[in-house]
């Protein structure tokens, strides 16, 4: 049971500030972890023995300090650590996360063969309608959803890559199985948009918070396009860092 917290008048600190201080201390000590929801407003007001107006002022102060985020209709959540996602010539999600002492992970969503729409065929050097393999994945950092990725590969060269990915758990390893020991990023286009219902559910974020979207083309050593990627990253958890690779 969460203990009742007594606030003190006349100690030189406003009641709402004392509440904000107490909640911030619990966040700092990890009593409430990043991404977790604070108790409902009524429960917090009862705990601190204050009215809702005073409680709201305390929570607003925490929001201004970046300690929490308030989602209309859902509640108040502890702010999550933002992940620096490096964008350079060689982008390997797992390597990026391990360098930051974070634990990477991924889940297979689906793999299908389909005729390539023009916007996907062109960057892959194909004619519209040519078959491609779509591999969709959900990536994690420390167990939290980070991005939904749609990876398109020319079927003529990569037929069977879905099975390779499911066996190896890595696109880089699946490509290596086919003799592609290195590949680089030719171009990355970045934009922001609101998530649809499916992406919001997978990324565990509300639909009223934007996501970061990348469209990218990877090429092999010969400069031939091997993958078109369309990835949607959690806006509250990820920020992009541009790097110049040596």
Task: Please state the pTM of the whole predicted model.
Answer: 0.74
Query: What is the β-pairing status of strands 83-87 and 238-242?
Result: parallel
- Both 28 and 114 in one domain: the answer is no
- Confidence category of residue 8, pLDDT binned at 50, 70, 90: low
pLDDT surpasses 90 at 132: yes
Count of structural domains within the chain: 2
The H or E element containing residue 70 is strand 68-71
Structural contact between residues 152 and 138, judged by C-beta atoms closer than 8 angstroms: no
Helix (H) and strand (E) counts in the chain: 9, 10
Please tell me what DSSP assigns to residue 79.
Answer: P
Which of helix, strand or coil describes residue 235? coil
Q: Considering the domain boundaries, does residue 8 fall inside one? A: no
* pLDDT, tens only, 56-84: 999 999 988 878 888 777 789 888 778 88
Q: Which tokens hold the place of 206?
A: 């509300």
- Both 93 and 63 in one domain: the answer is no
Range of lowest pLDDT (28-37, 124-133, 182-191): 28-37
Higher per-residue confidence, 14 vs 5: 14
* pLDDT, tens only, 9-59: 556 689 999 999 999 999 888 898 887 889 999 999 999 999 999 999 999
Of 58, 78, 98, which closes a domain?
Answer: 78
Structural contact between residues 123 and 225, judged by C-beta atoms closer than 8 angstroms: yes
The domain in which residue 70 lies consists of 15-78
Angle, helix 52-64 to helix 41-48, in steps of 10 degrees: 110
Taking the C-alpha atoms of residue 70 and residue 75, their distance in angstroms, rounded to an integer, is 6
């Amino acid at each position: 049971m969460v203990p009742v917290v007594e606030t003190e008048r006349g100690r030189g600190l406003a009641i709402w500030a004392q509440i904000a201080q107490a909640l911030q201390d619990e966040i700092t000590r990890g009593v409430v972890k990043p991404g977790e929801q604070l108790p409902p407003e009524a429960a917090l007001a009862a705990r601190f023995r204050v009215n809702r107006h005073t409680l709201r002022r305390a929570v607003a102060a925490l929001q201004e300090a970046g300690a929490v985020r308030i989602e209309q209709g859902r509640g108040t959540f502890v702010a999550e650590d933002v992940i620096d996602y490096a964008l350079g010539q060689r982008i390997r999600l797992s390597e990026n996360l391990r360098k930051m002492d974070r634990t990477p992970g991924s889940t297979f969503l689906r793999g299908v063969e389909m005729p390539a729409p023009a916007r996907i065929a062109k960057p892959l050097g194909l004619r519209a309608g040519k078959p491609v393999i779509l591999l969709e994945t959900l990536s994690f950092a420390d167990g939290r959803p980070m991005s939904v990725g749609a990876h398109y590969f020319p079927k003529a060269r990569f037929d069977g890559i879905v099975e390779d990915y499911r066996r190896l758990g890595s696109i880089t390893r699946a490509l290596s199985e086919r003799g592609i020991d290195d590949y680089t990023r030719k171009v990355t286009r970045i934009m922001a948009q609101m998530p649809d219902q499916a992406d919001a559910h997978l990324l565990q974020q509300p639909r009223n918070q934007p996501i970061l979207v990348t469209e990218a083309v990877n090429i092999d050593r010969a400069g031939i396009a091997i993958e078109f990627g369309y990835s949607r990253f959690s806006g509250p958890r990820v920020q992009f860092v541009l790097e110049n690779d040596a």
